[in-house]
Amino acid sequence: MTENTKAFYEYFTGAGFGPVGKDSFPLFQNFRQDSGLIDLSPTLINTWGSSWNSLYKQIAGQLCVVWFCDGNPYHQGLPFYFTVVKAESAGAAELKEAIDTLYELVRNAGVSSLVIESIDTAWLDLFRSAPGYDIQYGYTDDHSEYAYKTADFLELAGTVNKNKRERIGKVLKTPGLSVRDLTRENAGEVLELERRWCEGKDCSVCGSYAGCEKKALETAALLYDESVYKGLLLYSGGEAIGYGIGEKKDRKTAFAYFAKGLRQDYFLYVLYMMTKMYFTDIEYINLGEDMGNPGIRMFKSHVGRFEYWRKYHCSYSKPFSAPVGFENGPALS
């Protein structure tokens, strides 16, 4: 953390926000919301939020998470932003109360506008209806999520997927290949696989896109619960060479949170098998965004037919003057 971010962290902690991580898991897991966006999954926020030193607070029944922007190229010049996960039963009044409270917190911290990201298309009118603000909103394809019809993903039908069918067929013929359910007892093997995958890679490159996946996995492994997650380990001759972790959100949507394969084509196979083993009764599988990464975009846009599920951002502002002592952010003493 930079000194400025530390000051903001202390400011929000003083305002009643708590750290995202092990202690927040029960609340996050029981929070009911009606979005199919993976970035609004309380489970995902709980794992990735811990790697970003994020803080959370329930305000007017809404799950409000503050993300600090140290080292994130997508938010240059922005000290922090919020995700507001709308409770399933919430209406305009509850959302307005949460926005008003967050805006006052932001204003008192010396920041001129409240920025909320990852807003579901179905929620956008509610977020734009808060009176008394100048509201700017938009979206980018870099942060839209790839959702696939589960049947299409399993069939990989058509000429465009001929190569992928052949690759999966080749993997299926690999001698000694086996798949096991991921459990609390063997979840630690995921961390060893991730450590091996990270060897020789530049942490700053991974971190610049989405934070440290290894740290997020440490939280996921610590909290792994078969009643929440659905996951697998892939073995070749007794050696673990791949893993996948996902979750059924509801009858419409399943999330693929993490997946790795240490050998060529095994990443695709892990996703295929995770879908086949756990999600055949679900309409869509959501693989998340590509973050503007050309390699991830190439893969996700060529797996098969997909839908872009857009995530909007809204910026709320009013005529503004910073409180004395906060002109350049919260006071450091």
Residues 61-94 have pLDDT tens digits of 999 999 998 756 566 668 899 999 999 888 899 9
Q: What band does 333 get if pLDDT is binned at 50, 70 and 90?
A: very low
Q: Is the pLDDT of residue 258 over 60?
A: yes
Q: Is the pLDDT of residue 157 over 70?
A: no
Burial label, 159 (beta-carbon count in 10 A; 0-12, 13-18, 19+)? exposed
| CA distance linking residue 82 with residue 314, whole number of Å | 10
Q: Is 210 left (phi over 0), alpha (psi -120 to 50) or beta?
A: alpha
Q: What is the pLDDT of residue 127?
A: 95
| CA distance linking residue 132 with residue 130, whole number of Å | 7
Residues 144-154 have pLDDT tens digits of 999 999 988 88
Supply the pTM of this predicted model: 0.85
Q: Is the pLDDT of residue 324 over 50?
A: no
Q: What is the pLDDT of residue 75?
A: 64
Q: Output the average pLDDT for the chain.
A: 84
Q: Which domains does the chain have, with CATH numbers?
A: 3-139+311-317 (3.40.630.30), 145-309 (3.40.630.30)
Alpha helices per DSSP H over 81-141: 92-108, 124-128
Q: What is the pLDDT of residue 76?
A: 60
Q: Provide the total of helices (H) and of strands (E) in the chain, helices listed first.
A: 12, 14
| CA distance linking residue 131 with residue 111, whole number of Å | 20
What value does the CA radius of gyration of the chain take, rounded to a whole number of Å?
A: 21
229-239 average pLDDT score? 89
| CA distance linking residue 74 with residue 124, whole number of Å | 21
Q: Which residue has the higher pLDDT, 248 or 171?
A: 248
